[in-house]
Structure 1
Amino acid sequence: MAGFDLLDPVLQHHIVNSLGWPGLRPLQDESIAPITAGSDAILLAPTAGGKTEAAMFPILTRMQRERWHGISVLYLCPLKALLNNLQPRIDEYAAWMGRGAMTWHGDVSQSVRDRIKRDRPDVLLTTPESLESMLVSESVDAATVLGGVQAVVVDEVHAFAGDDRGWHLLAVLARLESLLGRRLQRIGMSATVGNPDELLGWLQGGQPAAGRVIAPAVPGSAVVPEITVDSVGSVENATKVIAALHAGEKRLVFVDSRRLAEELGTLLRGRGITTFVSHSSLSAAERRESEQAFAEARDCVIVATSTLELGIDVGDLDRVIQINAPRTVSSFLQRLGRTGRRPGTTRNCLFLGITDDAVLSTLGMLQCWSTGWVEPVVATPEPRHIAAQQILASALQTRRVPLTGWQETWGPLPLFGPDSQEIFDYLLEEGFLEHDSGSAFIGPESEKHFGRRHFMDLLAVFTAAPEFRVFAGRQEIGSVETSVLTDDIEGPRVLLLGGRSWKVTHIDWKRRQVFVENTDLQGRAKWMSLPDGASFEITRGVREVLLGAQPAGVTLTRRAVATLDDVRLQRADHVTEGAFVISRDGRDDWRWWTWAGAKANRTLAAWASDLVPARQRVGAESLRLHSDLSVEEIRHGLAALRTHTGDQPHPLVDRNALKGLKFAAALPESLARRTLAARTVDVRAAAAVLREKARISGHNE
């Protein structure tokens, strides 16, 4: 029986008559039987591949067949903007069945929340953080409001799984299941990932259950996309290219920082191009205004960070342009999937490298893509700080946590490792928890560290730099980090935000608010970011390109070819086939060209302390060695490393670095350091480097 025939007849009618679809896509058809049978699933398809319908049509069918009532489906997303974008569509599908869907997140008004608690829609779209706030809130009777939940749909599941938010998501779901006394069906949706079976196991949270990965071939996926790499040399030149090419078309330009988004948006507007800007430090209203205007316009550009990488609908696109390289193949595929949706159009992406290194990094990433490689989604290791957060959040939720057997709340979820009791004891000893009569409850240290704004600091697992909200009159424009308000400058302080310049008229330091007015003066944008560095695989892709590889299916402009030729000539002494190179650099320092990625190089630096100076900036390509080493000493050091790769130390973690680990205060310092150290290494890649031969200053080993 075809999947379509298993759907509720009302859905069948509306798919044909309201949507006007001649049939279902393969993903949608194949998902119906397992999901209506209650199976867990991972649904994989490119952006705009119909994943929402593939999950919701069978879930709505099951809802109707089994007569679910109240909030029976949770639809979880990583971004509030994505929730806002999806809610009208899901509500329309639910309304066909006499059901409803509503949204609950931090921007939703209290009156709407009261209505949700009172009337309880059938589908609730929310974030994991908002779901946890419902569990702990004194104003929400979670057992009543969420008592009917039967299934959870996780959109963009890869965005959770490779981050601490993934551990948080699984832990919150485990607590909800503990509250309800039953297991929930779990459905995850994603674009292409390198390890879908492992992703399904991760989503199931250690619970053995029926589950399927559904990833049918996509019609037309064999068509080769149009991928072009150009070398433009500067942001100004990138602006000229964007302004000159594809006039009359709608272009989405991705950049790797908020600062660059602001600068490029301003430059494009200066050239008379209708330009919009979207990034995470703009207010929700500003982003919605930009995205809506862009969706309705033609002959325009929107400049965005990864905020528009996920499934937010901005209408039909003609072109995707990428400034420099995205950090992962997965991000590239998400962005590429924004194009080629209309019949007769082809997926496309134009890369504009503003430096020679950016061109090289782009080609390295594309070399990996051209071989079919995509990053596996791997959970962050040793999440002790999330374990501490969950203990405290559970104490908020239940008011009391038993001193023994407290881990049972999370079932088989592998969040709590061998250190879990040490963490619990520390929370008691330091006053984060107090105890009486065999149970623990929230203590004064929790109030001190996380109690502001009704414990909202405790319910957000990501760390963000302190920001000031920016207002033009009563309109909130966005937010800026403190440094742009405190740096020494001459003349008036002018901010660049939303692609416009704003002169600062007043700063309310206590309330962390900035008041501004429009100005024609040139503004300044500045945000701090700490990228993790390129991976082993992409860095090796760069090495392959330097050794002569060219990504299949990629066109290089004449400028890009010239840049690549120059870079290959300049770096010829840094690469060789089948070996790594150790050579003297221009300052007569030894340089070990590992081409192993930043994490592997940090690992090697920790292992090879006799060879590698402690104080240096570790990048993806190489490590600096002690300048006074002889060739023989280097050989002996490498031989010793190859003998003892099994049990080597982690990198040392500076105490100041602990400030970047959320909830570090709720951990013993030794455990916090071990958690951070485990996240800075790549033992597998480091060991792979040491298995290679070495060429040392012309001497082959």
Structure 2
Amino acid sequence: MSSHPSSSDPSGSASGSFHRLHPKVQRWVWTQGWKELRGIQEVAIAPIIEGTQDVILSASTASGKTEAAFLPICSRLAEDSGGSVRAIYIGPLKALINDQFERLDGLCDGLGIAVHRWHGDVSQGHKARLLKSPAGILLITPESLEALFIRQGSALASLFSSLEHIVIDELHAFIGTERGCQLQSLLHRVELTLRRNVPRVGLSATLGDMTLAAEFLRPGAGEKVRLCNSDSGGGELLLQLRGYRKRTPDARRLAPGEDEESSDGLPEDEHDVGAHLFKTLRGTHNLVFANSRANVELYADLLRRMCEQAQLPNEFFPHHGNLSKELREEAEAALKARQRPVNLVCTTTLEMGIDVGAVQSIAQVGVPPSVASLRQRLGRSGRKGGPAVLRLYLQEAELTKTSPLPDQLRMRLVQSVAMLELLLTNWFEPPASGAFHFSTLVQQLLSLIAQHGGVKAGEAFSALCQAGPFARVSREDFVHFLRGLGQRELLSQSSDGTLLLGRVGERIVNQYSFYAAFASVEEFRLVASGRTLGTMPIDQPLFVGTYLIFGGRRWRVLAVQGDEKVVELEPAPAGRVPMFESTGVGGVHDRVREQMRAVYAGDGIPRYLDARAQELLAEARATFQRWGLSERSIITSGREVHVFPWAGDAVVHTLALSLQASGLSVETLGAVLSVEGMQSDVEGALRGLVAEGPPRAEALTTHVANMALEKHDGFVPEDLLARDYAARYLDVQGAWRAAQRVLQ
């Protein structure tokens, strides 16, 4: 006759919290065969089960954060979960919600707690049943919650009347973004509807600054948020950075028996990368992050053909946002099923906590987007007690006499090494903050009007700004903002002062796309001498005289037509184009660039570098020493002056605009500013900046032609848009200090 362990803990060992769970929840834990609660689950029970305060649960990927939140929540709901939705789970992806639905349905089935999904793929019948008999736990995306406000505004008070908890998964994915600001507003509007606070629980595996995260979770009261952090689950890390030389087409070697006509045109290094991926990953389950959709398709196709040549079933499948939902879900299900070897070549789509099961390793092709992103990706490996395995593949240009200085410095390799070194010290970027988010304020104001059928300006300011997530917006700015929306016919005003939707506002709100606060990066058409060169997504600032790299050539910007999404170009001066991957404005943190300088100046060889990567690092350091970059930060090479501020993208971008304002032509290449002209002119401009003190950030934006980067920025008055752009992407104090350092 079998018996359960004592209720103090699944294994009978001492536990300070297990006994506080409902007996049925304890029984579910036993049936899972758990020997003990994990660290984050143990510390989460007390603050969540009390149900009186906001909590952040931060722990490594696959540490059981979902159960950490819902074991105590379900213990509260087990006796009675009816009458209203009692808990809301908000996830960033529909696929993640589907995964969590399966996990929670298993837990809640024996507790009598209903679990509901609500997103665009859920049938109207399921949604109607929830509205008729609200109960249990609701799993929803921010966009679907937005739709609830607009379509079911009058019913929300009863739908959520007994709401006890709101859980936000992947909290780090929201902080500092338009979507995150939308989420903050929606949470605030839920509490305005209920006329009371609802405890919030944030879940994340990557939070660089817990205090900033707490302030995001509960704006204005972050110091009251309970922070629960667990380092358990971090085991052994196996790490390798593999270096490759990217050959020019004329230097490419053909395989035996191959001629130019039979070649597929891929540079040899990409064949080499693919060959190592095929040899190393074949027969197992892995994720390959390839940064861009184009690279995902390139490597997925290359690896598929390698399977065919080896007369093997294909084991490599693409996974990115442009693929149909069916193809993505089919690939995810195949990897999770473990019935055959499956490797997914993906973009950021699989950084989130979509459950694809444990994978043997992570491969990263190209420079990681950030340390935090790398940490998030790495968390997919090393589950169930095994080591986490990361292989990073880095391509650098074959050097010639005409190679640009950034290529000689192997900046892509050194930036990757710097990120890995910071990862090993457990540092990662803090969440972004400081933006005004006027684009999302447009959306939330229109949503608020649609929810109530109209709203007074003072009430809107109080709800959204004074006590809401747009607290940086003053009353004066809000009035200016409203007038701008009125001029663009988003708003109208009745005789009693009530704000109503205008002609354009009604059209925007009635579109399905309105529910999302964010928009994908828009494609701009590139034109030279009246001929269209192609299109490319523009996620960096453009101004007349700056440069673009496209089609293997460098182009100078002549004009930007923002409304038509057209960039007029002319060929830039001849010269080899450096290998460069744009990370977007504000993408690289100051700390990463400081670490890059330390890598250049050091002499240690990281153990994780392969032989080729060691050669490339040695070349980078030799160039750094040859140019005396440990003693100086401005050098002249050919017709260009190179400035090395060793600072993050916000500082580099601000310096570029400051030099542009002085009449200089500037090109930003990662950590380097390349300026046409004499070194004395560049130094003079920097001395002027230092003498005048930090510039007004908004004044610098007059040179930026595409400030309207967010979804509704086109409706925001120009001066407010400039202020928001400056807050997001510029660092005038940092640039002023960097200019002083550069001139020393």
TM-score range, shorter chain: 0.7 to 0.9
Q: Kindly indicate whether residue 203 of structure 2 is the aligned counterpart of residue 189 of structure 1.
A: yes
What does the per-residue CA deviation read over 1:15-63, in whole Å, with 9 as the maximum and x for residues that have no partner?
01x2111121111010111111122111011111110011111111223
Which amino acid counterpart does residue 412 of structure 1 have in structure 2? A
Alignment of 1:16-35 (within 5 A): 16=30, 18-35=31-48
Alignment of 1:600-679 (within 5 A): 600-609=651-660, 613=664, 615-630=665-680, 637-650=685-698, 651-652=700-701, 657-679=706-728
Of residues 636, 643, 650, the one that matches 1:599 is 650
Which amino acid counterpart does residue 353 of structure 1 have in structure 2? L
- The DSSP-based 3-state class of the residue aligned with 1:377 is coil
Gap change, CA 1:629 and 1:262, over 3 Å in 2: closer
- Structure 1 unmatched runs, 5+: 468-480, 490-527, 695-700
Alignment of 1:56-205 (within 5 A): 56-64=70-78, 69-137=83-151, 141-205=155-219
Q: Kindly indicate whether residue 275 of structure 2 is the aligned counterpart of residue 240 of structure 1.
A: yes
Distance in 2, matches of 1:463 and 1:530, equals: 17
1:50 is matched with which residue?
64
- The DSSP-based 3-state class of the residue aligned with 1:404 is helix
Q: Kindly indicate whether residue 381 of structure 2 is the aligned counterpart of residue 326 of structure 1.
A: no
Distance in 2, matches of 1:56 and 1:44, equals: 15
- Identity rate of aligned residues, in percent? 28
2:426 is matched with which residue?
372
Gap change, CA 1:664 and 1:246, over 3 Å in 2: closer
Distance in 2, matches of 1:682 and 1:466, equals: 25
2:634/2:742 contact within 8 Å kept: no
Distance in 1, matches of 2:110 and 2:46, equals: 21
Distance in 2, matches of 1:26 and 1:689, equals: 43
Q: Kindly indicate whether residue 393 of structure 2 is the aligned counterpart of residue 381 of structure 1.
A: no
Gap change, CA 1:90 and 1:683, over 3 Å in 2: farther
- The DSSP-based 3-state class of the residue aligned with 1:311 is coil
1:653/1:677 contact within 8 Å kept: no
Distance in 1, matches of 2:72 and 2:733, equals: 41
- Structure 2 unmatched runs, 5+: 1-14, 246-268, 308-313, 397-409, 535-580
Distance in 2, matches of 1:256 and 1:57, equals: 36
Alignment of 1:415-426 (within 5 A): 415-416=470-471, 417-418=473-474, 419-426=477-484
- The DSSP-based 3-state class of the residue aligned with 1:339 is coil
What does the per-residue CA deviation read over 1:204-238, in whole Å, with 9 as the maximum and x for residues that have no partner?
1224784211013315x3x4411110013432211
- How many residue pairs get aligned? The number is 629
User: Offset of 1:139 from its aligned partner?
Assistant: 8.8
Q: Kindly indicate whether residue 608 of structure 2 is the aligned counterpart of residue 535 of structure 1.
A: no
Distance in 1, matches of 2:450 and 2:47, equals: 37
Gap change, CA 1:134 and 1:575, over 3 Å in 2: farther
Distance in 2, matches of 1:85 and 1:529, equals: 33
Distance in 2, matches of 1:82 and 1:217, equals: 24
What does the per-residue CA deviation read over 1:475-518, in whole Å, with 9 as the maximum and x for residues that have no partner?
xxxxxx999xx9899xxxxxxxxxxxxxxxxxxxxxxxxxxxxx
Of residues 447, 451, 456, the one that matches 1:397 is 451
What does the per-residue CA deviation read over 1:55-80, in whole Å, with 9 as the maximum and x for residues that have no partner?
11111122346766421111011111
Distance in 2, matches of 1:530 and 1:31, equals: 36
Alignment of 1:340-489 (within 5 A): 340-343=382-385, 345-355=386-396, 356-379=410-433, 381-410=435-464, 412-416=467-471, 417-418=473-474, 419-436=477-494, 437-448=496-507, 450-451=508-509, 454-464=510-520
Distance in 2, matches of 1:561 and 1:585, equals: 26
Gap change, CA 1:559 and 1:635, over 3 Å in 2: closer
1:556 is matched with which residue?
609
1:29/1:54 contact within 8 Å kept: yes
- The DSSP-based 3-state class of the residue aligned with 1:162 is coil
- The DSSP-based 3-state class of the residue aligned with 1:381 is coil
User: Offset of 1:540 from its aligned partner?
Assistant: 2.3
2:343 is matched with which residue?
301
1:596/1:620 contact within 8 Å kept: no
User: Offset of 1:285 from its aligned partner?
Assistant: 1.2
Distance in 2, matches of 1:655 and 1:456, equals: 31
What does the per-residue CA deviation read over 1:307-334, in whole Å, with 9 as the maximum and x for residues that have no partner?
1111111122111111112111111111
Gap change, CA 1:665 and 1:595, over 3 Å in 2: same
Which amino acid counterpart does residue 541 of structure 1 have in structure 2? Q
- The DSSP-based 3-state class of the residue aligned with 1:387 is helix
CA RMSD of aligned residues (A): 2.8
Distance in 2, matches of 1:456 and 1:575, equals: 57
User: Offset of 1:384 from its aligned partner?
Assistant: 1.7
- The DSSP-based 3-state class of the residue aligned with 1:229 is strand
- The DSSP-based 3-state class of the residue aligned with 1:98 is coil
Gap change, CA 1:137 and 1:63, over 3 Å in 2: same
- The DSSP-based 3-state class of the residue aligned with 1:232 is strand
Which amino acid counterpart does residue 46 of structure 1 have in structure 2? S
Gap change, CA 1:20 and 1:647, over 3 Å in 2: same
What does the per-residue CA deviation read over 1:150-197, in whole Å, with 9 as the maximum and x for residues that have no partner?
211000001001211111100011111111111111110111322112
Distance in 1, matches of 2:485 and 2:281, equals: 59
1:471 is matched with which residue?
none
What does the per-residue CA deviation read over 1:629-681, in whole Å, with 9 as the maximum and x for residues that have no partner?
53xx6555444433444443443256751443211233112222332233221
Distance in 2, matches of 1:612 and 1:551, equals: 42
Distance in 2, matches of 1:254 and 1:153, equals: 28
Distance in 2, matches of 1:327 and 1:186, equals: 29
Gap change, CA 1:634 and 1:663, over 3 Å in 2: closer
Gap change, CA 1:10 and 1:456, over 3 Å in 2: same
Distance in 1, matches of 2:168 and 2:86, equals: 14
What does the per-residue CA deviation read over 1:412-466, in whole Å, with 9 as the maximum and x for residues that have no partner?
2240412222112322344211122231111112134x14xx2333321111257
Which amino acid counterpart does residue 648 of structure 1 have in structure 2? R
Distance in 2, matches of 1:116 and 1:617, equals: 56
Gap change, CA 1:277 and 1:105, over 3 Å in 2: same
Q: TM-score, normalised by structure 2?
A: 0.79
1:366/1:551 contact within 8 Å kept: no
Distance in 2, matches of 1:91 and 1:654, equals: 54
Gap change, CA 1:74 and 1:654, over 3 Å in 2: farther
Distance in 2, matches of 1:640 and 1:106, equals: 55
Which amino acid counterpart does residue 2 of structure 1 have in structure 2? G
- The DSSP-based 3-state class of the residue aligned with 1:215 is strand
Of residues 250, 253, 274, the one that matches 2:315 is 274
Distance in 2, matches of 1:74 and 1:41, equals: 15
Q: TM-score, normalised by structure 1?
A: 0.84
- The DSSP-based 3-state class of the residue aligned with 1:91 is helix
Gap change, CA 1:404 and 1:657, over 3 Å in 2: same
1:370/1:551 contact within 8 Å kept: no
What does the per-residue CA deviation read over 1:555-592, in whole Å, with 9 as the maximum and x for residues that have no partner?
11111111211222234355634x551111133x2221
Gap change, CA 1:379 and 1:693, over 3 Å in 2: closer
2:240 is matched with which residue?
228
Q: Kindly indicate whether residue 287 of structure 2 is the aligned counterpart of residue 252 of structure 1.
A: yes
Distance in 1, matches of 2:662 and 2:425, equals: 35
User: Offset of 1:689 from its aligned partner?
Assistant: 1.9
Of residues 299, 322, 325, the one that matches 1:284 is 325
* Range that drifts further, 619-628 or 288-297: 619-628
Gap change, CA 1:276 and 1:77, over 3 Å in 2: same
Which amino acid counterpart does residue 459 of structure 1 have in structure 2? Y
